[in-house]
Amino acid sequence: MNPFFPNLLSPIKVGSITLKNRICLAPMNILERDPNGLFKPRDIVFIERFARGGAALITLGESCVGRKTGASGKVLRINDPASFNGLCEAAEAVHRYGAKISIEISHAGGRAKPDDNHGSLPVGPSVFVNADGIRVSEMTEAQMEEVAGEFGDAALTLKKAGFDMVMFHAAHGWLVHQFISPRTNKRDDKYGGNIENRIRFPVMCLENIRGKVGKSFPIDMRITGDEIIEDGYHIDESKVYIKYLVPHVDMIQVSTGGIFHPDAAARMAPPVFYKKGCNVDFATAIKESVSIPVSCVGAINEPEQMEEIIRNQKADLIVMARGLMCEPDMPRKLAVNDILNINRCLRCNECHNRFFAKGWFTCTLNPLVGNESDLPRSHTTPQLSKKILVVGGGPGGMQAALTAAQRGHRVTLCEKESSLGGGLRFTRYVDFKADILYWLRQMEKKLSSLNVDVRLNVPVTREYVDQLAPDTLIIAVGADPIIPSIPGIDSHHVISGARMYDQPFDFGQEVVIIGGGLVGCEAAAELKIRGLNVTIVEMLSQVAMGCGEAQSNAIRIGLKGVKTLVNTQCVKITTEGVWVKSEGYDEMFLPADSIVFSVGMNSHSALVAELLQSQVSETYVIGDCLSARKMGDAIKEAYYTAMNL
């Protein structure tokens, strides 16, 4: 028994196999890199990293069982013979570390795309027009039997490839879920109507799987415990239909929501505006209805919370994707109670943004995500220990100092303010930024433990650098808010969104925010939580432009109750409020007790230019002072700069 996390790190039996602990990797679709949906070498390295970190079960992301139908994107087709060798390689990579491996098998049904299916049009439980504007045909019983057979064949292929189990995907809006949900299943035959009828096709699939793999090959099943939206089914109905499926499976993963509505999609990977573990109650409700292991998923990033969930039998296993990407060594570190060195997922959804935009993951706090082949470099010791000066104590400066010190360099970190954090210092005042504050406090402790010479209240000049005479200078002095040229911008009741927590400020009750980018939207969400009436004025056609699909959807949750005016610009600020102008309309007055502006950031180019004149031959400029971007960009840039010293 582990003395630190006795429940979380205890083994559990699932069907015929035993998992060494209760921490599992949630399915992530990582296979869209290859034009044919096949594994690439970096996929195997990515998968292997989680097993090496100590997770008990590695479940790979969505794959398609259909040979010529059912794909949405270039996902892996399990029944394509070309995929077999890659599956074998993935299984071997995971097994080297004592972990078990599974994969989510699915069929997109009415959400399938003809371009990904040799031109085949999508089919589903009923006729409807899908999100792409394509008419979906109602499946015949013969088509159902064919797809059920493909599910069985896929599971058998996995068994032959050395997989330990399989996950039957009955959630999130794909074909099996389309049959279960009354929103999408409008049939009037024996496969539609009441719950018993709507569950016939999923049972048909499960029976085919079991018939081909036998009783000794465990079947996991992912379900949507609650569809969240008003016209969807809810947990009470899930507790009824699950009883028809339990005899055919060995474990159930209870997820929530799906890709069929923005609110439902947000609950699949809950952002900071939801409480941590917001979906656990659904898993608990299912666990109370069944006698097989139940896993929970969604915004669980605190080890103490994980231990409590298992100890109090709210669920039997903890499933994470974002959390393990942020900290793949979490299970291994928990085993020795190394809490200080465990990154805690920020739930910023940058991982999803990068995946949707470029087909691969990234992480704000873990610069190695997507670059796992670089991992061995993190253990290298430099040939020469250098004297390094880092100027600026924001996220980039702290990461550069930490990584350089970890590699054996002698590091001095200077910050002009009285505390570290740079633009993150505000997080101590914002509840939904608590995990960033946690990271900041972690970094302070790590820097101290490595004897980094942290000097606060020290504005660094060229003369200071020359006096210290470092071997290497890393400039990470950040950026300042852009002050827009609006009459009245210098009034006493106007403040920058990036500086709104630096000093006491009376916001009153009515607040207007000029600028609907990420900073402006998060400021609006925070002020709304306080109970204030908030209006965002944005010049572009939508708020949170450029934030990425996942982050924009999260922000939409946070902005519920906030009024937004798009295609609108601020003309003038008065003591009573703001005059704005929308294209095609007369000027309009918005009463406001206070005004917050957030229209971008300007790099500290003058200070950078001065410091570059110092007598240091090896100099680097990183983070926002090079180009104002996101926190993760600064951290990654800092990490690799320090690794290359």
Beta strands in 410-509 (DSSP E): 410-414, 453-455, 472-475, 479-481, 494-496
List the one residue out of 547, 486, 557 whose CA is nearest residue 519: 547
Instruction: Give CA–CA dist 427/433, Å, rounded.
Output: 5
* pLDDT of amino acid 37: 63
CA–CA gap between residue 242 and residue 225 (Å, rounded): 9
CATH superfamily of 12-374: Aldolase class I (3.20.20.70)
- d(CA 319, CA 12) in angstroms, rounded, equals 14
- pTM (2 d.p.): 0.93
State how far the Cα of 381 lies from the Cα of 377, in Å rounded to an integer: 9
**pLDDT averaged per 10 residues in sequence order, the chain, 645 residues:** 95 98 92 65 91 97 92 90 93 97 97 92 95 94 98 98 98 97 96 97 98 98 96 95 97 95 91 95 97 96 97 98 97 96 94 80 91 65 91 97 96 96 89 94 96 97 96 96 94 92 91 94 94 96 83 87 95 96 90 95 91 95 90 94 92
CATH entry, 483-599, from 3.40.630.30, 3.90.25.10, 3.50.50.60, 3.40.50.80 = 3.50.50.60
Q: What is the structure's pLDDT at 376?
A: 53
Q: Residue 570: what pLDDT?
A: 95
Residue of 435, 431, 596 whose CA lies nearest to 508? 596
Q: Domain 380-480+603-643 in CATH: superfamily?
A: NAD(P)-binding Rossmann-like Domain (3.40.50.720)
* Amino acid symbol at 586: D
**The pLDDT value given to residue 462:** 96
Q: Give residues with Cβ within 8 angstroms of 101, minimum separation 6.
A: 51, 57, 58, 59, 60, 90, 91, 94, 95, 162, 163, 164
The amino acid present at 604, given as its one-letter code, is H
Rounded to 5 degrees, what are φ and ψ at 564?
Answer: -125, 135
Report d(CA 335, CA 338) in Å as an integer.
8
pLDDT reported for residue 359? 75
- Nearest CA to 395 out of 208, 628, 221 is that of 628
Q: Is the dihedral of CA 200, 230, 269, 136 positive or negative?
A: positive
Distance of CA 440 to the CA centre of its chain: 19
Q: Kindly write down the DSSP assignment for every residue of 165-177, as one continuous string.
A: -EEEEE-BTSHHH
Residue type present at position 643: M
Under DSSP, the state recorded for 505 is: -
pLDDT at 41: 84
Determine the Cα–Cα distance for residues 294 and 220; give it in Å rounded to an integer: 9
CA-CA-CA-CA torsion sign (513, 518, 523, 525):
positive
Could you write out the three-class secondary structure of 508-569?
Answer: CCEEEEECCCHHHHHHHHHHHHCCCEEEEECCCCCCCCCCCHHHHHHHHHHCCCCEEECCEE
**Residues 556, 547: contact at Cβ < 8 Å?**
no
Q: How is the beta sheet containing 510-514 ordered, strand by strand?
A: 494-496, 594-597, 510-514, 533-537, 563-565
Domain boundaries, the chain: 12-374, 380-480+603-643, 483-599
